[in-house]
Amino acid sequence: MVSWLWLLQVSFLRIEQVACYDYAYSFTAKELKAYKQEVKELFYFGFDSYLEHGYPFDEVRPISCVPKKRNFEDLNDHVTNDILGNFTITLIDSLTTIAVLQDMPRFREAVRLVERTFPNGEFDVDSTVQVFETSIRVLGSLLSSHLYATDRTKAVYLGHEYDGSLLRLAQNMADRLLPAYLTYTGLPVPRINVKWKFNFPGFTDSLVTENNVAAMSCPMFEFTILSYLTGDSKYEKVTRYAFDKIWSLRTDLDLLPMSFHPEKLTPYTSMTGIGASIDSFFEYALKGAVLFDDAELMNVWNVAYESLKTNCRNDWLFANVLADTGQIFVPWIDSLSAFFPGLQVLAGDLDDAIAKHLLFLKIWNTFGGIPERWNFSPTEISPPLSPTEPLSVTLKAILPLEWYPLRPEFFESTYFLYRATKDPFYLNVGVHLLRDLKQRFKSKCGFAGFQNVITGELQDRMETFVLSETLKYLYLLFDEGNELHKSGSDVVFSTEAHPMWLPQEVRSKYKRDAKFSDSTYSSHLKTCYKRDRELQAKESTLSQRIVGFARSVFSQQPEEELANLTRNNKTNFEAPGLCPIMPRPRSDHDTWYSPLLSKYSRLFEIDSRYNATLIKPSHMQHYRAIELEPAFYSRWSNPQFSTCQIEPTTEIFELLFDLPGVHEQNPSIADNGTITYGAFGSRSRLKIEKLQIYQSDYYGDLVTASTFQDISRRDTYSHMCDTTADLYSSVFLYRVVAVNGRIVPRHGTVQIEKHNFMHVSTDIEEQGTLIIGGIGVNDQAQLMLECTPILNLLLI
């Protein structure tokens, strides 16, 4: 009888799957439920494999099916030991994914297993670990799981079955990590021994010297939540001091070098960007502002993001630049920066989030994952690429770090963009990611990412974030009805994807009753604040910025150089300017389309612009571009609007302005595309297009003779351009197409109040002089560069 029931169940499941896939990419509730179930099964496959083959150690090796342990013999094996503290980290880090699955029996079972693993409620383990990684993976998961277990509104609420054990464990871990902050500067050292602090055999200075910005500043988030839940404010005060101290080390451009010596405050590198070593600083500035209702953190985010837009943002990526000059430093981006579009969604910068996410989609199409580093500029690679080199040599130059351990950042941004847009484009991405996990990365005892995306070799390791983040975000993408998506949900995801929220009664109690009774840390903070005041009194006022303008610090890549480097890389392009659009019949029942697939005219611009470094390895040659999946495309593209923008043939360069005063972060934007800046001080970066007749411009339009009619080249403030205006007609003109990374709309105008560029005479107020040499203004109020008007840049 049992066997017949089993056969009936299997038959029914097969029928349901067939029915579902007959309507693949319709994304009905039934289809999404099937995808959601597949992700759930993948998670439990990985989790149960860990319990069977890895527990009680930290990880399981997915190919060899044995535990992945910390290196007990070599304390300097940071790659292994920073994360693997011999405290069952996969079990702990996976708790919140089970909670998100709303699986009460398995959540209860997992919590009980944690309690049995640590029967004394302590992490009494002789392990030297990284403070940051332990904070986000262990402390973060314990806190989030405690919130789930004690919240009556959640499906895994444990009620009287739970006595607060996870919170006590979290506090015990925090007390073991917090001594890392007892330094001369108040900034934490990168590592600490969980049992012995710094008093243990084999301790060397190399364990506690260089520390990056994310690691020093970001435990503030988890530690502050711990303060709210325990009423002990020392965790918040100590770690918040470090966060604020880090922010005080920014350069005049409001950019932070990526790493410092925590005692000497000397930077180890002057590079900055949005990726590894600094990513979570931006994340926790914004998320901390939201969760803690903190205006100071919101100001940090606003200032930091404005500086990133000014100095790092290009059309499709945020570059790594020098923190003190804004000049591009290295021509690569890393896989961790794929999280940033999701953060931009939270910040409300949806248009740019869509563009930045698209680049990582193209990288996935090319390499089958997001390599740890990808060179986007072939002209910056040393030695330069040559079309005659073997493909493997070329790919090694393009991918200086060639592994992909199934990091979650691309999954994360895909999820947040779908929640913000509800565009099925992102569900289609999720379906392909799910398929890749099943077909390419699922191994005997877990999920193995790429050791080498060039060769397709898999890595015999499954880091905890695969179960904690990668599969969690993929599940939530398909789970429309998840309790986290209910109206009014005030949940913020930690950098390890642990859902965090603070009930109002917890907030009120903390504000009313919080205590800071630990004299060791209170005395330490008093000393740090006193030293800061003394140092500040000795410092002179900041020097004024140099007033002027310069050509962009971003190197430009001549199109002919890129063309010479384009290889015989299989591509869907038939000719320049044509899209890889597949024909489809128009159906009467088509009522709604994917906006990104149908109306985003730059959908395939990346394929062309970065063709020289988006080169498929041999094992990816038959991988179909996700956005061109036939079943998805035929259902969701609009044949009336699915067209591509013609590639520009105009020259584009950038200008940097350094002016007195401050820069307006949110200029007013009129319906007609006019952007008005009341304040245009500090540093600003303008992308300028050089227009010549019969060229294709930045917006895909043809430059015609009408553009050159009624041009005035006479400077109203000097006679410098008089001869040029009298003797020569314009053969080229300028136009602004972006300001600080903000794209100027087609036919849009940028207006700047005149006082930003003028010195006014004290005798006759109406008279004035331009404060920048080489810049002029004509009688149509257009700013001129070397006697040539910038058509849509007006002084008002």
End-to-end Cα distance, the chain: 86
Q: Which residues contact 724 (CB under 8 A, 6 or more apart)?
A: 713, 787
The closest alpha carbon to 687, from 647, 728, 729, 739, belongs to 739
Among 345-354, 571-580, 583-592, name the most confident range.
345-354
Catalytic-residue membership of 469? no
Which band of pLDDT confidence, cut at 50, 70 and 90, is reported for residue 764? Answer: very low
Task: Select the more confidently predicted residue: 746 or 645.
Answer: 746
User: Could you tell me the strand order of the sheet in which 320-322 lies?
Assistant: 271-272, 320-322, 328-330
pLDDT surpassing 50 at residue 543: no
What pLDDT score was predicted for residue 18? 36
What pLDDT score was predicted for residue 675? 93
Which band of pLDDT confidence, cut at 50, 70 and 90, is reported for residue 296? Answer: very high
**Do the strands 788-795 and 749-752 form a parallel or antiparallel pair, or are they unpaired?**
parallel
| pTM of the model as a whole | 0.90
Mean pLDDT over the full length of the chain: 87
Specify whether the CB–CB gap between 353 and 417 falls below 8 A: yes
Domain boundaries, the chain: 651-795
| Coil, helix or strand at residue 399 | coil
Task: Select the more confidently predicted residue: 680 or 228.
Answer: 228
The closest alpha carbon to 308, from 351, 254, 244, 233, belongs to 254
Specify whether the CB–CB gap between 411 and 467 falls below 8 A: no
What pLDDT score was predicted for residue 226? 98
What pLDDT score was predicted for residue 553? 46
Give me the helices (H) in 577-680, please: 595-599, 605-609, 630-636
Tell me the mean pLDDT in the region 78-93.
94
Task: Select the more confidently predicted residue: 558 or 723.
Answer: 723
pLDDT surpassing 50 at residue 68: yes
Specify whether the CB–CB gap between 791 and 782 falls below 8 A: yes
What pLDDT score was predicted for residue 430? 98
Residue 115 vs residues 67, 81, 121, 161: alpha-carbon distances, Å: 21, 24, 7, 13
Among the listed residues 93, 232, 306, 409, the single catalytic one is 409
Residue found under tokens 């470094």: 613
Q: Which residues contact 574 (CB under 8 A, 6 or more apart)?
A: 580
Give the percent of the chain with pLDDT over 90. 67
Alpha-carbon Rg for the chain in angstroms = 28
What pLDDT score was predicted for residue 559? 38
| CB neighbour burial string for 124-154, b if at least 16 within 10 angstroms, e if fewer | ebebbbbbbbbbbbbbbbbbbbbbbbbbeeb
What pLDDT score was predicted for residue 722? 83
Measured in whole angstroms, the distance separating CA 554 from the mean position of its chain's CA atoms is 21
Among the listed residues 279, 315, 469, 496, the single catalytic one is 279
Among the listed residues 31, 82, 93, 133, the single catalytic one is 133
What pLDDT score was predicted for residue 535? 84
pLDDT surpassing 80 at residue 278: yes
Task: Select the more confidently predicted residue: 540 or 558.
Answer: 540
Q: Which amino acid is at 605?
A: E
The closest alpha carbon to 216, from 193, 237, 254, 247, belongs to 247
- Omega of the bond prior to 595 within 30 degrees of 0, cis? no
What pLDDT score was predicted for residue 580? 53
Tokens of 441: 């990365």
Tens-place pLDDT, residues 28-57: 999 999 999 999 999 999 999 999 999 999
pLDDT surpassing 90 at residue 65: yes
pLDDT surpassing 80 at residue 20: no
Tell me the mean pLDDT in the region 557-582.
39
Torsion of CA 401, 403, 406, 409, to 10 degrees: 10
pLDDT surpassing 70 at residue 743: yes
The closest alpha carbon to 245, from 230, 234, 260, belongs to 260
**88 among annotated binding-site residues:** no
Residue found under tokens 């009619």: 709
Specify whether the CB–CB gap between 493 and 500 falls below 8 A: yes
Give the percent of the chain with pLDDT over 70. 87
Among the listed residues 315, 372, 402, 469, the single catalytic one is 372
Catalytic-residue membership of 496? no
Task: Select the more confidently predicted residue: 66 or 787.
Answer: 66
Tens-place pLDDT, residues 373-387: 999 988 777 777 777
Catalytic-residue membership of 133? yes
pLDDT surpassing 60 at residue 729: yes
Which band of pLDDT confidence, cut at 50, 70 and 90, is reported for residue 82? Answer: very high
pLDDT surpassing 60 at residue 212: yes
H/E stretch holding 24 reads none
